[in-house]
Amino acid sequence: MKIGFIGLGNMGAPMAANLAKAGHEVVGFDTAEVSVEGVKMAPSAADAARGAEVVITMLPNGEILRRVAEEIIPAMAKGAVFVDCSTVDVDSARAVAEQAERAGILAMDAPVSGGVGGATAGTLTFMAGGPEEAFEKVKPLFDIMGQKAVHCGGSGAGQAAKICNNMILGVTMIATCEAFALADKLGLDRQKMFDVVSTSSGYSWSMNAYCPAPGVGPQSPADNGYKPGFAADLMLKDLRLSQQAAESADADTPMGQRAMELYAQFVEQEGGSGMDFSAMLPRFEKRHRG
């Protein structure tokens, strides 16, 4: 298959490399100087998109996605599929999909979970929104880049699933960290805290799979000086997207709102930028107020 791939950063580069390795003809474009094994670089986004059966974008945000879409949609062939794998706001995902559909192009939002490790290993989870026909066409590519692809519904449904999942993750990570900090003050041994909670009703992915306390539970960024992993900055981005969506859909998400405020404070005022999102535990131990 001939594939255009736009946005070859931390995630896009290994995803494109895996497609090339599987034998697809991949033409890439990035505004930064990059080279990816097996991928031929084009001089512009439109050039990467021209003649491709599938165009994949992996970009920083919705504003950039809208700009790139303006450029590539007119260059794409009718019947081709435009798959955006970036994490962006639901409104941008839907606006770009409508624009593509008007031009006779099939559009999907398909954000991912699994991080750079999953992108490199080809074990990402894709959450896809858009027409069934587009999903069927792109499914073999999802199977190369990932281990699971869920067709969540119409356009925007993939982004909706992603931000709802990450809102739960942000909230449970904070709850887990504040509970550890409280347990410390109450003189409870951390290993005992883990042994109880991980097998009791307080269990969660944050506690069981990504324990924020060093030396306790499975290996996690806490055991590596809170080097990401999943950076607090990216968690803040996703929580902001969830609150933007809640505002626009008139949904009540007070815990998501509070999690966003705490991560904003952590990243922007308390030196949390560049640290893993589980570094909320040392943050609570210092007992910041607010």
In this structure, the number of other CB atoms found within 10 A of the CB of residue 152 comes to: 20
Cα 19 from Cα 16, distance rounded (Å): 5
| Contact call for residue 86 and ligand NAD (CB under 6 A) | yes
Q: Which stretch, 4-12, 18-26, 260-268, 276-284, contacts ligand NAD (CB under 6 A)?
A: 4-12
Nearer to ligand NAD, 126 or 180 (CB): 126
Residue 162 falls in the annotated catalytic set: yes
Active-site option among 162, 192, 227, 237:
162
Nearer to ligand NAD, 35 or 191 (CB): 35
Cα 72 from Cα 96, distance rounded (Å): 11
Selected binder of ligand NAD within 3, 4, 11, 280 (CB under 6 A): 11
Task: Give the CA count within 13 Å in the CB-facing half-sphere of 26.
Answer: 27
Residue indicated by tokens 């003050």: 185
Nearer to ligand NAD, 125 or 284 (CB): 125
Give the angle 136-99-153 at the CA atoms, nearest 5°: 40
Residues 32-71 binding ligand NAD (CB under 6 A) are 32, 45, 58-60, 64, 67-68
| Contact call for residue 115 and ligand NAD (CB under 6 A) | yes
Q: What is the DSSP string of 221-240?
A: GGGGTT--SSBHHHHHHHHH
Quote the least distance from Cβ 205 to ligand NAD, whole Å.
15
Quote the least distance from Cβ 135 to ligand NAD, whole Å.
19
Report residue 283 as tokens: 């943050």
* Active-site amino acid positions: 162
